[in-house]
Structure 1
Amino acid sequence: MNTSPAHRDSVLRIDCHGDALVGLLSEPVTTSGSASAAAGASPAAGTGVLLIVGGPQYRVGSHRQFTLLGRALAAAGVPCLRIDYRGMGDAQGAQRDFEQVDADIAAAIDAWQREHPSLERVVLWGLCDAASAALLYVHRRRDPRVAGLCLANPWVRTATSLARAQVKHYYLERLRQPSFWRKLLSGRVGPGAVRELLGKLAQGRATAAPARAGTAGPGAHATDTRHYTEQMADGLRRFGGPVLLILSGKDVCANEFLDRCRDGGPAWHGLLSRPGLRREDLPDADHTFSTAAWRAHVERLTAAFVRGVPAA
């Protein structure tokens, strides 16, 4: 029995404006006895997955989800690079948020191509605000090397959107439960809980206002000062490659994203039905796909998606 690993890991050092980033590259081992060879799983030549990590987080991920995803992709024949962007994990530099990592993403692709000239295309993979960062990147940079997007539970959070999602997907459900009314009438639901409900209802009815302006990095859209969610919508609408959208059924962020697609105004109208978008719902999954079954499902979806990304 051949027990050789189906992947190999190596460190890729990345320079981003003088700051050192750390990347972990998982690559297929394509010997005749490897799992990837046995499965015949080979994506389009020259395609890899750049896994962007949202913050505050680093390249291993909650319950090692990013380490396991990268290795699973490599075992399926898909090379995967996981990075810490500046200020996170082992990377140098000042801490920043997802709106400010365009340069980090570009630097990672540059370094990967220098070390592996056969890499021609990348698929950006992100969970939560890393999915948002991927959309902001394709909106601002229009990088022709980005051939596909995998977006898991994208972040579109504002105070109003959170209140609306909580009212719609939690509080209204509680109001439908007889046990809630029995507790309320018996005094077991305190006045604080009632005030919280009324506050959420009022906040959810408020008109959504931009929380802050976008902070684009250098590139074609460096002067775009619209709210980041509007820039995300533009990125999704204008991106020319295929998109895999993975949504968890038991996740407030996913519910907020769906609400934004339905009620977010003209910028978001029709985006869920845009050509090239494939939506996959995991009805029982939580935000980080924390069980082995959910994780494996995401791994299979991603590998199949990448194999279908066309060459330029």
Structure 2
Amino acid sequence: MNTLITPLKPAHRDSVLRADCDGQTLVGLLSEPVLAASDTGVLLIVGGPQYRVGSHRQFTLLGRALAGAGVPCLRLDYRGMGDAQGDQRDFEQVDADIAAAIDAWQREHPSLKRVVLWGLCDAASAALLYVHRRRDPRVAGLCLANPWVRTATSLARAQVKHYYLDRLRQPAFWRKLLSGRVGLGAVRELLGKLAQSRAPAPAADTRHYTEQMADGLRAFGGPVLLILSGDDVCAREFQDRCRDGGPAWQGLLNRPGLRREDLPDADHTFSTAAWRAHVERLTAEFVRGVPAVA
């Protein structure tokens, strides 16, 4: 007897959404629920140099998972990235791109009332800079994964604290050193990192992008989901900045409305299926709980 197998219907549909930004075209891929969609969508900002698919397709999979959970998600190529027009730019220069994407999304889908910005690494930094500079009332929440706060000094401090000091505590390192299997170059690198980690912050840091990020996080009125990987230097630098970054950063991890989720074994891009699924669940749950903008 032949059994007729009915194919499963997809829980989402994908479409291209284009936006004009200062005369240049941005390209986004919009994943939407097939059934009724939430009036809150996720604008997934992609850090550079990268485009909307992401490493190991993480952004494609995240966008479709959210759509399957009832949350529309727009993955954006800002100017100079992927299929978008314009010159390449970094995360400090994409405020206009984010605003243009929200404008186009609401124009084509009037049911969209509010947006959650989602960013990994320097895209999380871009989200904080955007809410700091634009105060856009349409942004109702932030999902920040391993935010980028790097300076040469912060990287050196994180490497010394979380990598080199751990190595110095390992008997195997000293056995290799005494046996000649650790080269002089590695020893010189360690000494160089120690010297760099003790360097004072440069005078230009008076209004460094990290301080603007801190201002954005402190002043933002909506809820924030902060996801930190355990096996990631960027996450360690962010935690160090929150603890040792001066008055601008003091108390930020305890601000009202901030929910912190640690993935102790995860790497920077949540590269396993289990880590990816965990982030998808956290994001969908968070977005469903975002209140309407007053």
The TM-score normalised by the length of structure 2 is 0.94
Shift of 1:180: 0.3
CA RMSD of aligned residues (A): 1.8
Q: 2:17 aligns with which of 12, 29, 53?
A: 12
Alignment partners' CA distance in 2, 1:196 and 1:89: 36
Q: Relative to 1, partners in 2 of residues 1:224 and 1:15: Cα closer, same or farther, differing over 3 Å? A: farther
Shift of 1:155: 0.1
Secondary structure of the corresponding residue to residue 80 of structure 2: coil
- The alignment-based identity, stated in percent, is 92
Structure 2 unaligned blocks of 5 or more: 1-8
After the TM superposition, which of the residue ranges 260-269 and 223-232 deviates more from structure 2? 223-232
Q: 1:237 aligns with which of 195, 218, 240?
A: 218
Q: Relative to 1, partners in 2 of residues 1:212 and 1:168: Cα closer, same or farther, differing over 3 Å? A: closer
Q: Relative to 1, partners in 2 of residues 1:254 and 1:308: Cα closer, same or farther, differing over 3 Å? A: same
* Native 8 Å contact 1:210 1:227 kept in 2: no
Does residue 89 of structure 2 align to residue 96 of structure 1? Answer: yes
After the TM superposition, which of the residue ranges 149-158 and 187-196 deviates more from structure 2? 187-196
Alignment partners' CA distance in 2, 1:164 and 1:21: 38
Q: Relative to 1, partners in 2 of residues 1:164 and 1:144: Cα closer, same or farther, differing over 3 Å? A: same
- 1:119-175 CA-to-partner distances (Å, cap 9, x unmatched) read 110000000000000000000000000000000000000000000000011000000
Shift of 1:27: 0.2
Shift of 1:260: 0.2
Aligned residues: 283
Q: Relative to 1, partners in 2 of residues 1:224 and 1:286: Cα closer, same or farther, differing over 3 Å? A: closer
Q: 2:43 aligns with which of 20, 44, 50?
A: 50
Structure 1 unaligned blocks of 5 or more: 30-43, 214-222
After the TM superposition, which of the residue ranges 12-21 and 44-53 deviates more from structure 2? 44-53
- 1:1-26 CA-to-partner distances (Å, cap 9, x unmatched) read xxx00000000011000000101000
Q: Relative to 1, partners in 2 of residues 1:224 and 1:203: Cα closer, same or farther, differing over 3 Å? A: closer
The TM-score normalised by the length of structure 1 is 0.88
Q: Relative to 1, partners in 2 of residues 1:186 and 1:248: Cα closer, same or farther, differing over 3 Å? A: same
Alignment partners' CA distance in 2, 1:93 and 1:211: 34
Shift of 1:190: 1.0
Shift of 1:226: 1.4
1:191-210 map, 5 Å: 191-205=184-198
Alignment partners' CA distance in 1, 2:244 and 2:193: 18
- 1:201-246 CA-to-partner distances (Å, cap 9, x unmatched) read 11111xxx89999xxxxxxxxx998110000000000000000000
Alignment partners' CA distance in 1, 2:83 and 2:38: 31
In structure 2, the partner of 1:306 is 287
In structure 2, the partner of 1:147 is 140
Alignment partners' CA distance in 1, 2:64 and 2:134: 28
